[in-house]
Amino acid sequence: RLRKWQRRIRVSDASERNLAFALSELDRIASKLGLPRNVRENAAVLYRGAVEKGLIRGRSIEGVAAAALYAACRRCRVPRTLDEISEASRVDRKEIGRTYRFLSRELGIKLAPTNPIDYVPRFASELGLPGEVESKAIAILQKAAEKGLTSGRGPTGVAAAAIYIASVLLGNRRTQRDVAEVAGVTEVTIRNRYKELTEHLDIDVTL
Amino acid sequence: MNNTGEIMEPKIKIVNVVVSTQIGSDIDLEEAALILDNAEYEPEQFPGLVCRLSEPKVALLIFRSGKVNCTGAKSKEEAEVAIKKIIKELKDAGMDIIDDPEVKVQNMVATADLGIEPNLDDIALMIEGTEYEPEQFPGLVYRLDDPKVVVLIFGSGKVVITGLKKEGDAEIALNKILETLREIEEIK
DNA sequence: GCTTTAAAAAGTAACGT
DNA sequence: ACGTTACTTTCGAAAGC
């Protein structure tokens, strides 16, 4: 009766309020990371799907929103690392990773492992590198993947090393330190990947 | 040339065995902490008493209920030796302890080598129930249903098998993985 | 879900020298 | 640029938050 009706109103009120909050969270994090509109929309679709399947129970709205955004970024091939999403959302990276696995399983989303190549455009532009360097780095990564040199390595680290090598080869050198900073890895990692790539792909990087 | 043939790949090594048992009930952990040498008991941090033995090199967790966990052993026998050691120490100090309790293997961890360097991306894309996030961890996580175990597969071909209850399941799991890998190669 | 224990795999990180 | 230590992942049991 009236009471049941009132409860329904309350529930739908709460649901709408939560959804509105989630969508504003998605927008807040997305704009902080400078993500394009299609990624935000993709994340919103994922979030609504999670709501419809009751996957939010026992989880925080912020956590699910962050995980949806992480998944959307990968889907749209403009990946952000868990650390970047974590920093922008103030949700623990462990929780984002856990929720992401849960969502991809429950929503039947099978995403391929992040391809290092997808990080190249963003890192290269942040380093102010021209298109030729970007293309060269991508070519290096394609060869590296064929020879199994990317398996098990962090995608950002391999991408960073490829960009560093390409920048040196094409006379637009960036320091390991600068590349490391935009890629969010240490210089040691770039050096390790650099050695591996130049040795196994017969690249002469004479300074 | 190898005179033993080619079927010696599954050189499986058990690197850790987790066992549980019961040595009594209503154990006074404060008292036990004083009796046992390398014992730590901080109920604020964890309800169990932690005791490390150097021979065998294991760690034991003792609870107020009398339940005991032993980790770090290389075999069930080694874990039993460790449990008998603490039982003797506690009994000699006058505590009410069960003499030779039944121990149950709860988990075993093994390492092995596939003998080939698998393409983790291919496995991740073609096999359901696998997780591979190189950004987070270099190994691919493969959960098997038949022997209910989890296998971590690395680009080097090295493998870690955990969740084992029986030692023999390690080889069964390994062979299933190798068979699956062959199927992937055929499809490719 | 977390806390504590042990162990391996390979990559990455953060110290010190 | 090294080297060392330590963290990431997986598993299970325990009692309690």
DSSP string, A179-204: HHHHHTS-HHHHHHHHHHHHHHTT--
Residues of A in contact with B117 (CB under 8 A): 148
User: How many CB atoms lie under 10 A from the CB of residue A12?
Assistant: 10
Entry pTM:
0.94
Q: Which of A110, A179, A116, A190 is nearest to A146 (CA)?
A: A116
Please indicate whether, in this complex, the C-beta atoms of A153 and B135 are within 8 angstroms of each other: no
Q: Which domains does chain B carry?
A: 19-105 (3.30.310.10), 114-187 (3.30.310.10)
**ipTM surpasses 0.90:** yes
Please check whether strand C approaches the CB of A69 to within 7 Å: no
Rounded CA–C1' distance between B61 and D15, in angstroms: 11
Rounded CA–C1' distance between B138 and C12, in angstroms: 10
Please indicate whether, in this complex, the C-beta atoms of A97 and B136 are within 8 angstroms of each other: yes
Tokens describing residue A199: 């040795």
Please indicate whether, in this complex, the C-beta atoms of B135 and A154 are within 8 angstroms of each other: yes
Whether the pLDDT of residue A187 is over 70: the answer is yes
Is the CB of residue B66 less than 8 Å away from at least one CB of chain A? Answer: no
**B53 vs A16: which has the higher pLDDT:** B53
Confidence of residue A38 (pLDDT cuts 50, 70, 90): very high
Residue A117 contacts residue A138 (beta carbons within 8 Å): yes
Whether the pLDDT of residue A11 is over 80: the answer is no
Q: With b meaning 16 or more CB within 10 Å and e meaning fewer, what string describes B48-57? A: bbbbebeebe
Q: How far is CA B53 from CA A142, A170, B31, B60, B88, in A?
A: 51, 60, 18, 8, 13
Q: Count how many Cα atoms sit within 13 Å of the Cα of residue A95 in the half-sphere of its side chain.
A: 16
Which of B119, B125, B135 is opposite residue A155, by nearest beta carbon?
B135
Tell me the per-residue pLDDT of B35-51, one tens digit each, with 9 for 90 and over: 999 999 999 999 999 99
